[in-house]
Amino acid sequence: MNKKGNLVYIFDPLCGWCYGFSPVILDLYARKQDEYNFIVLCGGLAVFDRALPIEEGYDYIEREMETVSRHTGVVFGEEFRNIVSEGSYIYDSLPACRAMIAFRTLNPGKQIEFAHALHEALFYHGEDLNDMDFFVSLADEFGCDPYEFNKLLTSEDNLNKSTEEFHTVLKMGVTGFPFLFYADLEKTIVLSNGYSSFNAVWNKLNAIQDYSKKE
Protein backbone atom coordinates (compact mmCIF):
# COMPACT_ATOMS: atom_id res chain seq x y z
CA MET A 1 0.00 0.00 0.00
CA ASN A 2 1.28 3.46 -0.89
CA LYS A 3 2.12 5.95 1.79
CA LYS A 4 -0.71 8.44 2.30
CA GLY A 5 0.95 11.12 4.37
CA ASN A 6 2.95 11.73 7.50
CA LEU A 7 2.11 11.21 11.14
CA VAL A 8 4.43 13.55 13.01
CA TYR A 9 4.93 12.84 16.71
CA ILE A 10 6.51 15.64 18.74
CA PHE A 11 7.69 14.37 22.10
CA ASP A 12 10.36 14.71 24.72
CA PRO A 13 12.17 11.73 26.27
CA LEU A 14 11.80 13.27 29.75
CA CYS A 15 8.10 14.13 29.44
CA GLY A 16 5.89 12.07 31.77
CA TRP A 17 2.76 12.67 29.72
CA CYS A 18 4.66 11.50 26.62
CA TYR A 19 5.45 8.32 28.55
CA GLY A 20 1.71 7.99 29.18
CA PHE A 21 1.04 8.53 25.47
CA SER A 22 3.77 6.10 24.40
CA PRO A 23 1.50 3.00 24.33
CA VAL A 24 -0.98 4.96 22.20
CA ILE A 25 1.52 6.00 19.54
CA LEU A 26 3.16 2.56 19.64
CA ASP A 27 -0.19 0.86 18.99
CA LEU A 28 -0.99 3.31 16.21
CA TYR A 29 2.40 2.64 14.63
CA ALA A 30 1.87 -1.12 14.82
CA ARG A 31 -1.45 -0.80 12.97
CA LYS A 32 -0.64 1.96 10.50
CA GLN A 33 3.06 1.80 9.69
CA ASP A 34 2.32 0.49 6.20
CA GLU A 35 0.02 3.39 5.43
CA TYR A 36 1.88 6.39 6.86
CA ASN A 37 5.35 7.74 7.37
CA PHE A 38 5.89 8.03 11.12
CA ILE A 39 8.26 10.87 12.03
CA VAL A 40 9.48 11.70 15.54
CA LEU A 41 10.60 15.23 16.44
CA CYS A 42 12.14 16.26 19.76
CA GLY A 43 10.66 19.16 21.68
CA GLY A 44 13.43 19.99 24.14
CA LEU A 45 11.45 20.09 27.38
CA ALA A 46 14.42 20.42 29.75
CA VAL A 47 17.44 21.68 27.84
CA PHE A 48 20.19 24.22 28.39
CA ASP A 49 19.18 26.58 31.24
CA ARG A 50 16.16 24.37 32.00
CA ALA A 51 18.39 21.35 32.70
CA LEU A 52 18.34 21.21 36.51
CA PRO A 53 18.42 18.71 39.36
CA ILE A 54 14.95 17.30 39.98
CA GLU A 55 14.82 18.82 43.46
CA GLU A 56 15.51 22.31 42.08
CA GLY A 57 13.39 22.48 38.96
CA TYR A 58 11.23 19.39 38.65
CA ASP A 59 10.04 18.48 42.13
CA TYR A 60 6.46 18.45 40.81
CA ILE A 61 7.20 15.15 39.03
CA GLU A 62 6.49 13.20 42.19
CA ARG A 63 2.95 14.61 42.27
CA GLU A 64 2.42 14.31 38.52
CA MET A 65 3.30 10.61 38.39
CA GLU A 66 0.05 9.63 40.08
CA THR A 67 -1.99 11.88 37.78
CA VAL A 68 -0.33 10.47 34.66
CA SER A 69 -0.79 6.89 35.86
CA ARG A 70 -4.44 7.47 36.70
CA HIS A 71 -5.26 8.99 33.31
CA THR A 72 -3.13 6.81 31.06
CA GLY A 73 -2.57 3.51 32.86
CA VAL A 74 1.24 3.55 32.61
CA VAL A 75 3.32 2.45 35.58
CA PHE A 76 6.32 4.37 36.90
CA GLY A 77 8.95 1.92 38.12
CA GLU A 78 10.45 1.89 41.59
CA GLU A 79 13.88 2.77 40.22
CA PHE A 80 12.53 5.98 38.72
CA ARG A 81 10.56 6.78 41.87
CA ASN A 82 13.79 6.43 43.85
CA ILE A 83 15.55 8.86 41.49
CA VAL A 84 12.77 11.41 41.97
CA SER A 85 12.77 11.03 45.76
CA GLU A 86 16.54 11.40 45.98
CA GLY A 87 16.34 14.57 43.88
CA SER A 88 19.89 15.12 42.58
CA TYR A 89 19.42 13.58 39.13
CA ILE A 90 20.00 16.22 36.44
CA TYR A 91 16.82 16.41 34.41
CA ASP A 92 18.31 17.18 30.99
CA SER A 93 16.51 16.28 27.76
CA LEU A 94 19.42 17.12 25.47
CA PRO A 95 21.39 13.83 25.64
CA ALA A 96 18.32 11.67 24.93
CA CYS A 97 17.13 14.03 22.18
CA ARG A 98 20.57 13.80 20.59
CA ALA A 99 20.27 10.00 20.77
CA MET A 100 16.85 10.13 19.11
CA ILE A 101 18.14 12.28 16.27
CA ALA A 102 21.21 10.08 15.72
CA PHE A 103 19.04 6.98 15.74
CA ARG A 104 16.57 8.53 13.29
CA THR A 105 19.41 9.01 10.82
CA LEU A 106 20.52 5.38 10.96
CA ASN A 107 17.18 3.60 11.44
CA PRO A 108 14.28 5.89 10.43
CA GLY A 109 11.79 3.02 10.25
CA LYS A 110 12.06 2.35 13.99
CA GLN A 111 11.73 5.90 15.33
CA ILE A 112 8.53 5.23 17.28
CA GLU A 113 9.94 2.08 18.88
CA PHE A 114 13.15 3.83 19.90
CA ALA A 115 11.20 6.74 21.42
CA HIS A 116 9.16 4.20 23.40
CA ALA A 117 12.36 2.47 24.53
CA LEU A 118 13.78 5.77 25.81
CA HIS A 119 10.67 6.36 27.88
CA GLU A 120 10.68 2.89 29.38
CA ALA A 121 14.40 3.14 30.11
CA LEU A 122 13.92 6.22 32.28
CA PHE A 123 10.41 6.05 33.69
CA TYR A 124 10.24 2.32 34.36
CA HIS A 125 13.82 1.08 34.67
CA GLY A 126 15.41 4.26 36.05
CA GLU A 127 18.28 4.31 33.57
CA ASP A 128 20.60 7.31 33.42
CA LEU A 129 19.63 9.25 30.29
CA ASN A 130 22.65 11.49 30.74
CA ASP A 131 24.95 8.56 29.97
CA MET A 132 25.96 8.51 26.30
CA ASP A 133 27.21 4.92 26.60
CA PHE A 134 23.69 3.82 27.51
CA PHE A 135 22.34 5.19 24.23
CA VAL A 136 24.98 3.34 22.25
CA SER A 137 23.97 0.11 23.97
CA LEU A 138 20.27 0.77 23.39
CA ALA A 139 20.76 1.60 19.70
CA ASP A 140 22.79 -1.59 19.34
CA GLU A 141 19.71 -3.54 20.45
CA PHE A 142 17.89 -2.02 17.46
CA GLY A 143 20.60 -3.11 15.04
CA CYS A 144 22.60 0.11 14.78
CA ASP A 145 26.34 -0.20 14.41
CA PRO A 146 27.73 1.02 17.77
CA TYR A 147 30.68 2.84 16.20
CA GLU A 148 28.57 4.66 13.63
CA PHE A 149 25.90 5.53 16.16
CA ASN A 150 28.40 6.89 18.68
CA LYS A 151 30.09 8.90 15.95
CA LEU A 152 26.79 10.52 15.02
CA LEU A 153 25.66 10.95 18.62
CA THR A 154 28.75 12.83 19.77
CA SER A 155 29.27 14.96 16.66
CA GLU A 156 28.93 18.72 16.60
CA ASP A 157 26.53 18.33 13.69
CA ASN A 158 24.23 16.27 15.91
CA LEU A 159 24.25 18.97 18.58
CA ASN A 160 23.44 21.62 15.98
CA LYS A 161 20.62 19.54 14.54
CA SER A 162 19.17 19.04 18.00
CA THR A 163 19.18 22.77 18.72
CA GLU A 164 17.66 23.50 15.31
CA GLU A 165 14.93 20.93 15.94
CA PHE A 166 13.95 22.55 19.22
CA HIS A 167 13.65 25.90 17.42
CA THR A 168 11.66 24.33 14.59
CA VAL A 169 9.16 22.87 17.04
CA LEU A 170 8.78 26.25 18.73
CA LYS A 171 8.22 27.96 15.37
CA MET A 172 5.45 25.46 14.71
CA GLY A 173 3.74 26.81 17.80
CA VAL A 174 4.08 23.59 19.77
CA THR A 175 4.84 24.32 23.40
CA GLY A 176 3.44 21.21 25.11
CA PHE A 177 3.98 17.50 24.62
CA PRO A 178 2.95 15.02 23.39
CA PHE A 179 1.74 16.52 20.12
CA LEU A 180 0.67 14.45 17.12
CA PHE A 181 -0.45 15.69 13.73
CA TYR A 182 -1.22 14.41 10.25
CA ALA A 183 0.39 16.19 7.31
CA ASP A 184 0.34 15.82 3.55
CA LEU A 185 0.93 18.24 0.68
CA GLU A 186 -2.48 19.83 1.11
CA LYS A 187 -3.30 19.92 4.81
CA THR A 188 -2.16 19.58 8.39
CA ILE A 189 -4.53 18.21 11.02
CA VAL A 190 -3.86 17.96 14.76
CA LEU A 191 -4.65 14.49 16.14
CA SER A 192 -3.53 15.04 19.72
CA ASN A 193 -2.48 18.16 21.61
CA GLY A 194 -1.40 16.72 24.94
CA TYR A 195 -2.46 13.25 26.02
CA SER A 196 -5.30 11.59 24.11
CA SER A 197 -6.61 8.05 24.32
CA PHE A 198 -6.00 5.59 21.50
CA ASN A 199 -9.68 5.65 20.52
CA ALA A 200 -9.70 9.43 20.27
CA VAL A 201 -6.67 9.47 17.98
CA TRP A 202 -7.92 6.50 15.98
CA ASN A 203 -11.30 8.13 15.33
CA LYS A 204 -9.69 11.37 14.14
CA LEU A 205 -7.36 9.50 11.82
CA ASN A 206 -10.23 7.45 10.40
CA ALA A 207 -12.16 10.66 9.78
CA ILE A 208 -9.23 11.94 7.71
CA GLN A 209 -9.19 8.71 5.73
CA ASP A 210 -12.93 8.84 5.14
CA TYR A 211 -12.71 12.46 3.97
CA SER A 212 -9.84 11.64 1.62
CA LYS A 213 -11.83 8.82 0.01
CA LYS A 214 -14.68 11.24 -0.77
CA GLU A 215 -12.43 13.74 -2.51
pLDDT tens digits along 109-122:
999 999 999 999 99
Nearest to 35, CA basis, from 214, 215, 208: 208
In order, the DSSP letters of 79-127 are: HHHHHHHH--SEE-SHHHHHHHHHHHHH-GGGHHHHHHHHHHHHHTT--
Average pLDDT of every residue of the chain: 95
- pLDDT band for position 69 (50/70/90)? very high
CA distances from 112 to 11, 83, 107, 191 (A): 10, 25, 11, 16
Cis peptide before 178 (omega within 30 of 0): yes
pTM of this prediction exceeds 0.85: yes
- Average pLDDT over every residue of 67-90: 98
Round to whole Å and give the CA distance between 159 and 153.
8
What is the H or E stretch that residue 186 is in? none
| pLDDT at residue 1, rounded to an integer | 37
Round to whole Å and give the CA distance between 72 and 70.
6
Q: How far is CA 47 from the centre of its chain?
A: 15
Examine the pLDDT at 215 and tell me if it is beyond 60. no
